[in-house]
A and B are shown apart, each in its own frame.
Chain A
Amino acid sequence: MNTAPDSVDQNGLTDAVGAFFTFGPGGTMGIYVLTVLGILLLAGALVAWVHTENRRLLEFASQHPQSSGGTMTSQHPQSSGGTMTGSEV
């Protein structure tokens, strides 16, 4: 059911809204810039995740050496899984 007053130009409204979208419709400089910025944010977040987590984990490991009897290195000697022997756990 169309409840718009008769005086409202629906087609005109559609055109006006369609022309607005933030930074314009697709394929414009504004959208290119936004896309690049979005990709940079994602990549930056992943790199930052690696760095901050690495720092936090190593800090925790250095503060809890007693957990491993004080003779461990902070990194686990990672195995190849499929060829794991009991001595590697």
Chain B
Amino acid sequence: MDTETLNTMVTMDSKVLAEQFYFFTVAIMWLIHAGFMAYEAGIARRKNVMATALKNILTIAVVTPAFYFFGWVIYGCFQRGFMPTDPWGDSAEAVFCASTIPWGDYMGPNLADNLTGVFWAAFLLFSWTTGSILSGAVIERIRLSAYLILTVVLGSIVWILDAAWGWSAGGWLVTDFGFHDAIASGVVHGVAGIFALGVLLQLGPRLGRYDIKGQMRRFIPHNLHMTLLGLMLIFTGFYGFYAACLVITSTAFPGWLNIYLNPTTLSAITFTITVGFAGGFIGGYFASRGDPFWTVSGGLAGVISVSAGADIYHPSLAFLLSAGTAALVVYVGGLIERKLRIDDAVGAVAVHGVAGFLGLLWVGIFAAGYPTGVNNIPSSLEGQLIGILAFFPLAFLPGYIIAWVLKKMNLLRVPVEVEIAGLDKAEFGQDFYPEYASAQEQVIDSDGTPVNADAITRQAIKELVR
């Protein structure tokens, strides 16, 4: 066998191995979505379980085509800002941009291209994750159709535009400011959490969530075991998420690279993710005094907080950062719900938004000087802050404005009669737990005593009518 033939075969093997690698990360990342569905359905009250689960599943139905037609080309062609790259140029940016156009040669079957489809799918799974983050925050009162519109905007435009800017080798934040968010603390989680905040401000709390004095009542999840299992599925899927954030095509690049094409290893990020969960559980447990929901959500917050620097943090640093951030997130989550009276059903703003943006900040403090990207621009606190300043309005304003428009058209929230009876009866005409139909639902009042939910609802209606 001559050298040329051998080289051709090795190149083909390398491409096919990379193709398989990303394909299986996609399969593992489906667990994140299954987990989010179980997580949110478990948190929902019995009367809203199916509506909550189906809302999550239908994220796939709308974000997938939207990301195919719009999302991927935004990532490929808007890396320098709001002005698109010319896809007919000769530069590497132009070639990549052209490869993302939905009617082009690469966005379909192409025997010369093994990678575009699996890359696209990996990013698509990140898109679903952003949708799921929003989905949990708004359960039990948002209209399905309003959520689907909002999730299309978030999953196919908002997050992928910030990814183009700060989560690509050619993004202006990376090439000009050394912005570093290796495994998407801010790009995915932070942005989705802040988008959810904008929506929540327009949506308002669930009926009966706060009493007349503004004190918070606690709704009892219909199945906390399902929620915890959901979180564990999310954690499992995170390993696929982490792996998919690396670049591996051994004939083009020597070994593993991060998204900015800097060398790293799968081993390095494995240290960080695993230790990040552990630290997050500890921080969440002690800050919440053993509350099961916040303990496990602490694990999520912990790993999100160290994702931005996952390729370079020492595990001991990741442990400390994740524990500290998770504790802070529990505190901020309480503040958002009790003081600001924003009814975030799953703590998404705190767990994803706050932990995500703190993760960006931690890189500026603890990993300053790291030569990020193909230009080797040192990461810095300034660079990270510029990224935060770019991402925050990009995330908040679309959610806030679109939710405002839908609200003005009376298309954001379900009618109050539907909220009282439960979304499942209105949307599907049935109770999905008929065997428990006679059970009385309870709410934990602001003084900590369990009270009958019907009484709370009647009181809330009286206040509404007055």
Q: What separation, in Å, do the CA atoms of A60 and B418 have in the docked complex?
A: 7
Across-interface contacts of B143 in A (CB, < 8 A): 53-54, 57
A89 within 8 A of B: yes
Q: B105 contacts which of A25, A35, A53, A87 (Cβ < 8 Å)?
A: A25
Contacts of A54 in B (CB 8 A): 143, 145, 411
Chain B hits for A18, CB < 8 A: 110-112
- CA of A77 to CA of B200, assembled, Å: 14
Given A26-B106, A46-B148, A57-B143: A78 in contact with B407 (beta carbons within 8 A): yes
Taken residue by residue from 52 to 78, chain A's Cβ proximity to chain B (1 for < 8 Å, 0 otherwise) reads as 011011101100110111011111111
Q: Contact at B340–A82, with CB atoms within 8 Å?
A: yes
The complex places the Cα of A61 from the Cα of B209 at a distance, in Å, of 21
Tally chain B residues at the interface, Cβ within 8 Å: 67
Question: Is A50 in contact with chain B by the CB < 8 A criterion?
Answer: yes
Chain B stretch 366-417: residues in CB contact (< 8 A) with chain A:
407, 410-417
State whether A49 and B145 are in contact (beta carbons under 8 Å apart), knowing that A78-B203, A78-B204 are contacts in the complex: yes
Within 8 A of A (CB), among B336-364: 340-343
A27/B105 contact (C-beta < 8 A), A56-B426, A61-B415 known:
yes
Chain A interface main SS type: helix
Given contacts A80-B204, A86-B213, 8 further A-B contacts (CB under 8 A): A32-B103, A41-B65, A45-B62, A49-B145, A50-B146, A54-B143, A72-B465, A87-B212
Q: Which of B69, B418, B421 contacts A39 (CB 8 A)?
A: B69
Tally of A interface residues using CB under 8 Å: 48
Residues of chain B in range 109-165 having any CB-CB distance to chain A below 8 Å: 109-112, 141, 143-146, 148-149, 152
Contact in complex: B103, A26 (CB < 8 Å)? yes
A89 pairs with B201, CB closer than 8 A: no
B205 in contact with A79 (CB, 8 Å): yes
Nearest to A74 among chain B residues (CB) is B415
A21 neighbours in B (Cβ, 8 Å): 108-109
Q: Is A17 an interface residue (CB 8 A)?
A: yes
- Cross-chain contact of B414 among A57, A79, A81 (Cβ < 8 A): A57
Residue pair B416, A81 in contact (C-beta under 8 Å): no
Q: Is the CB of B464 within 8 A of A72?
A: yes
The reply to whether A74 and B417 contact each other, CB–CB distance below 8 Å, is: yes
Distance A61 CA – B415 CA, assembled complex (angstroms): 7
Decide: A89 near B464, CB < 8 A? Known: A21-B109, A61-B417, A64-B421: yes
Residues in chain B near residue A82, CB distance under 8 A: 201, 340-342
B417 A84 Cβ-Cβ under 8 A:
no
